[in-house]
Amino acid sequence: MVVKTKRKEVFLNDKRKEILALLSRNGKVSLIKLAKTLGISHVAVRKHIQKLEEKGVLHVRGNINPQALGFRLVLVFMEIINEEYMFRIIEKFRECPRIIFLANMIGGYNLIALMYAENEDVLGCLGSVCSIRTMEGIRRSEVYILSSIIKPKYLPLDFPSKGRRKVAPCGRKCTECIEYKTQKCLGCPATVHYKGFQYF
């Protein structure tokens, strides 16, 4: 007697791998072009993409070249004392519009942040008054200003746009900040106080 068992579906099949490869090179390629390349219908391509998005494997968005806009990038390495402080800091800065990525690390430093600043004055503020590295629970930190990006040229940064909040996601109030009052800082892009449009 032969018992038939249902074959387990391989989630990342060959078609989905090809879709990922093609979209990683050009995120705005059309469904029709993808379908022609893969030899399947555009409806099937859409379903594959939806599955990849549902599983959290794929998110298509427009990346930006910060250097072309004159933005400065800064890497912040931090050693957080314990898990409780780690959780607090991550939650506080999870929605910060100037953080391009925030990641845990294994090693001497256990948290890293890549941030952008619109100009030199804002860059100075990221290192002092409006800095993730000044948070309670950080034993030590190091800051590196990047001179140029070699790869990738385009990054998933949130382009500055005046938000609707009165208080920044981290809890800071721009209107109470001396750097903002003296026109050195443009303010947090997540708030109604952001003045960065004069800069662009």
Residue range 26-79, pLDDT digits in tens: 999 999 999 999 999 999 999 999 999 999 999 998 999 999 999 999 999 999
User: What are 145-158's pLDDT values in tens digits?
Assistant: 999 999 999 999 98
- Beta carbons of 167 and 95 less than 8 angstroms apart: no
Q: What percent of the chain has pLDDT over 90?
A: 66
Predicted TM-score (pTM) of the model is 0.83
pLDDT at 98 over 90: yes
- pLDDT of 196 reads 82
- pLDDT of 131 reads 81
Q: Under 8 Å CB-to-CB from 191, ≥6 apart: which residues?
A: 162, 163, 165, 166, 167, 168, 174
- pLDDT of 55 reads 94
- pLDDT of 9 reads 57
User: What are 120-133's pLDDT values in tens digits?
Assistant: 989 888 877 778 88
- Up-side HSE of residue 153: CA atoms within 13 Å toward CB? 3
- pLDDT of 198 reads 67
Identify the band that residue 134 occupies on the pLDDT scale cut at 50, 70 and 90. Answer: confident
Q: What are phi and psi of 103, to 5 degrees?
A: -145, 145
